[in-house]
Amino acid sequence: MSRIFITRSIPDAGITRLRERHDVTVFEHDRQITKEELLAAVREVDGLVCLLSDPIDAGVIAAASRLRCISTYAVGYNNIDTDAAASRRIAVTNTPGVLTEATADIAFALMIACARRIVESDAWLRNGAFDGWAPKLFLGQDLVGKTLGIIGAGRIGRALAKKAKGGFDMRILYHNRTRSDAFETESGALYADLDTLLKESDFISIHVPLTPETRHMIDARALSLMKPSAVFVNTARGPVVDEAALIEALRERRIFAAGFDVYENEPRIPEELISLPNTVLLPHIGSASIETRDRMAVMAADNLIAVLDGREPSHRVV
């Protein structure tokens, strides 16, 4: 029986699956584990289930002398030093595909909430300001027939395009490192260079991984190309956006609104961003449906069990 450590409690579907076969310890506190706590916890474990917010760096990997698998409860794995893991022949696995629809739903929800000023008007009403219907009260933007620019043609971007085209008859532009025939066939999407997409889109949603090339992909220059009526949504990774530049654009009303589910220095969020009325801010809940989180937990567990059993996991990244 192998020893497994889980850095934070995940849905029971995954924990139960692991406990059927292995000795499992779950971090006892409902907060992010500290680096010191993590170093102490991994010293005698064979398997590790971590979150995207856990820094699994070379030091942590070196401290885990028996470690055979790092199973991340996420799609992204930029928090893991994969080179250090590979040098020790430690498998790294993730949970792709399972959260596609849930995250695309949140991206679309942010688009609607920003366009129709849902959160802003809700707060205004709750503060007792509503005294009846008015012709110009909280005027927003329509979605039907507008142009949606999708940056990143992966699973989530493609799922969002289907929702936008099928439900709102939106024109779809997309930008990706390479063209995607499947994306174009599914949704009638048109390929565009990044500048053209930014200039022509009424709504822009970004769905790229965090890499050195994508860090601050949306910067002051990119923002300057957007329409004053544009709505920008980020459900990808916080650092793909220059948050300071976006705050300035929102404050000066150079774009209409922005919706966030991820942040550049998460969980720290600038007070200035919180205070802006033309934003919708979510606490990283893109995949937070009961069904999706259960499937993620089972997938993370199955990946880890496979490695410890000497089998190839379904979703190995290293």
pLDDT tens digit string along 122-156? 999 999 999 999 999 999 999 999 999 999 999 99
* Nearest partner of 238 among 257, 212, 220, 260, judged by Cα: 260
pLDDT in tens, 74-127: 998 999 999 999 999 999 999 999 999 999 999 999 999 999 999 999 999 999
Distance CA 273, CA 311 (A): 47
Alpha carbon dihedral 10, 16, 18, 21, in 10-degree steps, equals 170
Q: How many domains does the chain have?
A: 2
Same domain, 180 and 169: yes
Cα 141 to chain centroid, rounded:
25
The range of the structural domain enclosing residue 120 comes to: 100-281
41 pLDDT tier (thresholds 50, 70, 90): very high
3-state SS assignment for residue 92: strand
Question: For position 223, which CATH number holds?
Answer: 3.40.50.720
Whether 116 maps to a domain, the answer reads yes
Q: For the chain, give the number of residues.
A: 318
Tell me the per-residue pLDDT of 3-32, one tens digit each, with 9 for 90 and over: 999 999 999 999 999 999 999 999 999 999
Mean pLDDT of 41-65: 97
Claim to verify: residue 108 and residue 85 sit in the same structural domain? no
**CA neighbor of 74 nearest in space, from 90, 96, 103:** 96
CA distance 206 to 217: 10
Does residue 11 form part of some domain?
yes
Asked if residue 318 belongs to a domain, the reply is no
Q: Are residues 108 and 34 in the same domain?
A: no
86 plus 179 within the same structural domain: no
> Residues with catalytic annotation?
237, 266, 284
Same domain, 203 and 260: yes
pLDDT of residue 54: 96
In a domain, 126, yes or no: yes
- Domain match, 39 and 140 both: no
Does residue 26 form part of some domain? yes
Mean predicted lDDT score pLDDT of the chain = 97
**Cα separations (Å) of 257 from 109, 141, 251, 286?**
13, 10, 10, 19
Q: What percent of the chain has pLDDT over 70?
A: 100
151 lies in the same domain as 60: no
Q: What percent of the chain has pLDDT over 90?
A: 99
pTM, rounded to two decimals: 0.91
pLDDT score recorded for residue 64: 97
89, 66 contact by CB (below 8 A): no
* Residue 61 pLDDT: 98
Tell whether 63 and 115 lie within a shared domain. Answer: no
Asked whether residue 34 is domain-assigned, the answer is yes
pLDDT of residue 286: 96
Q: What's the pLDDT tens digit per position in 235-252?
A: 999 999 999 999 999 999
Coil, helix or strand for 268? strand
Position 316 in a domain: no
Residues 218 and 89 in one domain: no
Same domain assignment for residues 175 and 228: yes
CB 174 within 8 A of CB 168: no
Res 49: pLDDT = 98
Tell me, yes or no, whether 317 lies in a domain. Answer: no
| Same domain assignment for residues 92 and 104 | no
CB of 125 within 8 A of CB of 132?
Answer: no
Residue 110 CB-half CA count within 13 A? 32
Same-domain pairing of 207 and 119: yes
